[in-house]
Structure 1
Amino acid sequence: MSQKRKSGASVPRTTKSKYQPSAPSSTMTYVLGGVALLVVAALVIGGIWWSKRDKGEADQSALAASSTMIVGPENAPLIDIFEDPMCPVCKVFEQQSGAAITAAVKEGKLRVRYHTLNFLNSQSGPGDYSSRAAGALTCVAQERNTDLFLRFHSALFAAQPPEGSGNITSPELARMATEQGATPATAKCITDNEKVAEAEANAEKSSEELSKANNGRVGTPTVLHDGKPVQNLSGNAWLDEILDAKN
């Protein structure tokens, strides 16, 4: 591992992704007043949306392989959640639906594949926060501890830095993970940015599969249910409908 990734140092920027949004993100793009309108902004205006030519059906094996973490029993209803750690609407989505998703997973009623994207790197101070946060989640996922992952995932969005100049260093991310119960080995993995390259590769693959499933569009937050986009993420009615359909 290169010394350039030690102690929260800025990770060298990768080649510019083909999944760049058409215009820089702005908090005001998302915040239209109140949680309900905010979610509408995420879905109608797009939160973060951009287009790509690939269309068709997502490959389920590819979605599984590119996920940051898979939680919940195999026989439960399946959803894929796509988020960027710098996306303000993703933070709102976590605040709105995170507890209900966690409860359903713990009760064995839901299976979730989490996908961490990184196209908002440029909206952080050092220009690499999304990738490093994705790497931190990947380090935590190595422990194969569902409760730990869900706690850290929630804490990460609760501490989300502001767009434009915000940042959380890698040692600070490691400290957050430790506070949620991560091992010293996991903390070192995060501090040393050991999983950033893997997280970036998975973000690229996840974006490609989401584009296929969503008529050539990629955005955050997005939820797929059995490979198809959930159209309305307002409130938790969408989740209740998925869980009720199983019964």
Structure 2
Amino acid sequence: MGGAERNARKRKQDAAAAAKAMAAARGKADRTKMWVGVAAVVVIAAAVFGGIYFTAQTDSATTSTAIPAVKVNPTYPVKRDNAVIVAGKDSAKATMDLYADFLCPGCGGFEENFGKQIQDKLNAGELKVRYHMLPMLVKLSKPEGYSLDSANAAMAVAEADPGKFPDFFASLYAKQPKENGAGYTKDQLIQLGKDVGVTGENFANDIRNGTFNKALQDAFANVDNDPGFKEAGGFNGTPAVVAGNKVVDYRQSATWLEDIIKQQAG
């Protein structure tokens, strides 16, 4: 074999070895990418599951202990009128209707932002408030039903001891359950009633038996017939404020409550 042939064979052998090495390196790189990809998917899945688990644990933690009692110290009368709770002095020059659901996050925000102002106007005798507890989000708790159970509990408190309704109302929003999470149980609602000072057993039985459920459901089914919503083209959800048979856009004016009082008092 001549030198030229030996050189040609050597080049082929070197080329083959190089190709094999490249193929091996490529395979290793592909396997590395695959495992990196699998690891990334595992990490993402763990993060998603962890987030769901953490949220579930947080929601559960919110409702697994007693509901903290809030005292607002009302100095005005309260009475139940079928499915409506009427709060305020008869001499008040202004009246507004407040539509709310105890599970509604927006209602919780409304109470946080305006609850004290409303209580101040009620105590001052300037305002009367008609509270409509609407069981609108019945399916958005686990188990379903907290929206109706809490509304019924508020009615039971107003029936048994009307003066404790403002405290009960404020307490349910101060540590509000989250949508699609666990709501408070009937036993927890009963205990809250006791903690705000409601006495007797009738209110506990009313909470357990859902005494006011039908009245609340009927009121919700017919909410579009309320004069303020008729003019606005129908009910659009909670929280909602109606005064002078008109829906009030409380988000557009920082003085909306003062405006209601001035308009009706004038």
Regarding TM over 0.5, the answer is yes
2:229·2:246 contact (CA, 8 Å) conserved in 1? no
Q: Residue in 1 aligned with 2:104?
A: 87
Q: CA deviation at 1:109?
A: 0.7
Identify the match of residue 249 of structure 2 among 217, 220, 231.
231
Q: Residue in 1 aligned with 2:171?
A: 155
2:232·2:247 contact (CA, 8 Å) conserved in 1? yes
Q: CA deviation at 1:212?
A: 1.5
Q: Residue in 2 aligned with 1:6?
A: none
Residue identity (%): 28
C-alpha distance 149-213 of structure 1, shift in aligned 2 (>3 A):
farther
SS of the residue corresponding to residue 142 of structure 1 reads helix
Q: CA deviation at 1:144?
A: 5.4
Computing the radius of gyration over CA atoms, which structure comes out larger, 1 or 2?
A: 2
Counterpart Cα distance in 1 of 2:81 and 2:182 = 31
Q: CA deviation at 1:117?
A: 1.0
Report the AA paired with residue 175 of structure 1. Q
C-alpha distance 189-235 of structure 1, shift in aligned 2 (>3 A):
farther
Q: Residue in 1 aligned with 2:217?
A: 200
Deviations 1:20-76 (A, max 9, x none): xxxxxxxxxxxxxxxxxxxxxxxxxxxxxxxxxxxxxxxxxxxx9564300112342
Q: CA RMSD in A?
A: 2.2
Segment of structure 1 superposing worse, 157-166 or 206-215: 206-215
1:97·1:235 contact (CA, 8 Å) conserved in 2? no
Q: Residue in 1 aligned with 2:148?
A: 131
Q: Residue in 1 aligned with 2:237?
A: 219
Structure 2 residue 201 is the aligned partner of structure 1 residue 179: no
2:86·2:130 contact (CA, 8 Å) conserved in 1? yes
1:66·1:202 contact (CA, 8 Å) conserved in 2? no
Structure 1 residue ranges without an equivalent (≥5): 1-63
Report the AA paired with residue 86 of structure 1. L
The structure that is helix-richer by fraction is: 2
Report the AA paired with residue 80 of structure 1. D
Q: Give the TM-score normalised by the residue count of structure 1.
A: 0.67
Structure 2 residue 138 is the aligned partner of structure 1 residue 121: yes
Structure 2 residue ranges without an equivalent (≥5): 1-79
Report the AA paired with residue 139 of structure 2. S
Counterpart Cα distance in 2 of 1:78 and 1:233 = 19
Counterpart Cα distance in 1 of 2:223 and 2:199 = 28
Q: Residue in 2 aligned with 1:47?
A: none
Q: Give the TM-score normalised by the residue count of structure 2.
A: 0.63
C-alpha distance 68-214 of structure 1, shift in aligned 2 (>3 A):
same
Q: CA deviation at 1:167?
A: 1.1
Identify the match of residue 145 of structure 1 among 159, 162, 178.
162
Report the AA paired with residue 188 of structure 1. N
Deviations 1:181-210 (A, max 9, x none): 112322332233322222222222335426
Q: Residue in 1 aligned with 2:13?
A: none
Report the AA paired with residue 189 of structure 2. L
Report the AA paired with residue 246 of structure 2. K
Q: Residue in 1 aligned with 2:71?
A: none
1:178·1:187 contact (CA, 8 Å) conserved in 2? no
Segment of structure 1 superposing worse, 192-201 or 176-185: 192-201
C-alpha distance 143-235 of structure 1, shift in aligned 2 (>3 A):
farther
